[in-house]
Amino acid sequence: MPKRRVKKNVCPSCGTVVETPYKTWEIISPFPDKKMRITLTTMGMFKCPACGKRFRGVVAKVKLGAEEVEIES
């Protein structure tokens, strides 16, 4: 089983890790993948506590299918 990368939301200016977004929204992929699953991506707006820069990042991804549900964090 391959290792999964854990990507954290890091400020592009100063490199501080920001844990929680102040705003979130969902994006649904218009086309399914090869296994006929639809990807639901939760995006978020983050504000760096150190420098105050605002940036977007992926909060979570969920792949929904008829037989299984795969959650990517």
pLDDT in tens, 15-42: 889 989 999 999 999 998 888 889 999 9
User: Please, are residues 58 and 42 in contact by the beta-carbon 8 Å criterion?
Assistant: yes
* Dist. CA 64–CA 66, nearest whole Å: 7
Residue 4 confidence (pLDDT) above 60: no
Question: What's the pTM value of the predicted model, to 2 decimals?
Answer: 0.74
Q: Binning pLDDT at 50, 70 and 90, where does residue 7 land?
A: low
Mean pLDDT value across the chain: 85
* Dist. CA 7–CA 28, nearest whole Å: 21
